[in-house]
Amino acid sequence: MLHALNKTLKRSGIALVLAGLFMASCNTTTPDPQPGTGTTQPGSGTSTTPGSGTTTNPGSGTTTTPGSGTTTVVASVTYIAQKNNLNLLEAAIVRAGLVDEFNKSNITIFAPSDDAFRAAGLGDVSTINNAPVAEVQRVLRYHVVADRIDRSAIPTGVSTVYQTTLSDNRITVFKTSNSDISVNNGKIIEGDNPTVGSVVHIINTVLRPSTGNLVAIAKANSNLSLFAAAVDRANASTQSALNAVTQNGLTVFAPNDAAFKAAGFADVAAIQKADQATISDMLLYHVLRTTIYSQNFQNGADIVTAQGASVRTNVSNGTVTLLGKGNGTSVANVVTADQVASNGVLHVIDRVLLPK
């Protein structure tokens, strides 16, 4: 018991000292958020203690009386330091020098758990402390939205895109219910944890920011060389559609090289000789005008594509397949899912979808 008490006092003390040091030396600003649907309703900036019927003042930093039935609301980094399953996030924040940014009011932090860090190959403090500071900063800023978003403010049943504090990078949130909310390819496992003027949602995945837009992601994949050639062959409006930054983002199903060959396109030269209108029409049939990560596809749903015709999605035991109008009963399998792009998400598939 004495060891546990000492550990708690030590962790709280370190976090408070670090927060004080960074608060004194930093005054970093973050960009305004840009919710994808425009329907989110930021929180009020106050935090109500569940079941107490009382509201604490987030700006006061005061401590409630122990045993009164209310909860102390502390700064975000202090809260993170006090959580037994956020030790590695705390280490990452310190390594990145972002204590002041994470202690800001009116932000939302999607906080990866220790298990999430381990799954991402960042299993201990030493590994985090050896990571390049700039890269740690980049990853952490991808987990912060410059607005307070409680679970109740997230629209239900639609993909909602939020701008993060990492420039040109957005996350997609999909809420089935308050207890089932996806963030990109992760899930909220502990939501609505109030801090001073902000909120922390603990998630089960370290979110990876993009390295480019959808076209750039495709061209960087050697197994998508024929898809990339098809993009280059397409007309200007189709190319613009694939490069566009839209309110709700895009989803692209990119057939791999084997899929193009099976569809009769033996090589890049064959695609370059193909009818431009045919290639353009085919590509748009592989594009959705919303961002959908693999875990949010619905079994038996018909989704309208940018081409105008629909494609059917089927889900079984976590495996996603697609059926085009002209593919008969031959489905396309999603073989590599959730490739994050700055303007949406890309899924690699093993069959070219035919609109008719």
Supply angle C-alpha 104, 176, 351, rounded to 5: 105
**In the predicted model, is pLDDT for residue 36 greater than 70?**
no
pLDDT attached to residue 18 = 34
Phi and psi torsions of 176, nearest 5° = -85, -40
Reading phi first (left if > 0) and then psi (alpha if -120 to 50, else beta), residue 46 is in beta
Q: Decide: 298 and 289 in contact? Cβ < 8 Å.
A: no
16 pLDDT band, cuts 50/70/90, is: very low
Residue-wise pLDDT tens digits, 326-335: 999 999 999 9
How far out from the chain centre does Cα 167 lie?
14
Q: What is the mean pLDDT of residues 228-246?
A: 97
**In the predicted model, is pLDDT for residue 246 greater than 90?**
yes
pLDDT attached to residue 163 = 96
Q: How many CB atoms lie within 10 A of CB 315?
A: 17
Residue-wise pLDDT tens digits, 266-281: 999 999 999 999 999 9
| Mean pLDDT, the chain, whole residue set | 86
Task: Enumerate residues 6+ apart whose C-beta is below 8 A from 268.
Answer: 225, 226, 229
Which two tokens mark 328? 């008969």
Residue-wise pLDDT tens digits, 191-217: 999 999 999 999 999 999 999 999 999
pLDDT attached to residue 24 = 34
Distance CA 339, CA 347 (A): 6
**In the predicted model, is pLDDT for residue 1 greater than 60?**
no
Residues in the chain: 356
70 pLDDT band, cuts 50/70/90, is: low
**In the predicted model, is pLDDT for residue 9 greater than 50?**
no
Which residue would you say has higher pLDDT here, 89 or 15? 89
HEC readout, 288-353? ECCCCCHHHCCCCEEEECCCCCEEEEEEECCEEEEECCCCCCCCEEEEEEEEEECCEEEEEECCCC
Residue-wise pLDDT tens digits, 147-174: 999 999 999 999 999 999 999 999 999 9
Which two tokens mark 210? 């993009």
pLDDT attached to residue 181 = 98
- Residue at 269: amino acid letter: A
| Percent of the chain surpassing pLDDT 90 | 79
Distance CA 177, CA 182 (A): 10
H or E element that contains 194: strand 186-195
pLDDT attached to residue 69 = 54
Give whole-number Cα distances, 95 to 140, 157, 268, in Å.
11, 37, 46
Q: Decide: 243 and 283 in contact? Cβ < 8 Å.
A: no
Reference 288, options 353, 226, 344; nearest CA is 344
Mean pLDDT check: name the lowest of 4-8, 111-115, 344-348: 4-8
Distance CA 222, CA 228 (A): 10
126 pLDDT band, cuts 50/70/90, is: very high
Q: What domains lie within the chain, and their CATH numbers?
A: 2-46+72-203 (2.30.180.10), 214-349 (2.30.180.10)
Q: Parallel, antiparallel, or unpaired: how do β-strands 180-183 and 186-195 relate?
A: antiparallel
Distance CA 104, CA 197 (A): 8
pLDDT attached to residue 48 = 35
Which two tokens mark 228? 């990339």
Which residue would you say has higher pLDDT here, 60 or 78? 78
Reference 87, options 120, 114, 112; nearest CA is 114
Mean pLDDT check: name the lowest of 18-22, 274-278, 302-306: 18-22
The sheet carrying 332-341 orders its strands as: 287-288, 250-255, 344-349, 332-341, 319-323, 310-316, 301-304
Residue 244, CA atoms < 13 Å, CB-side half-sphere: 21
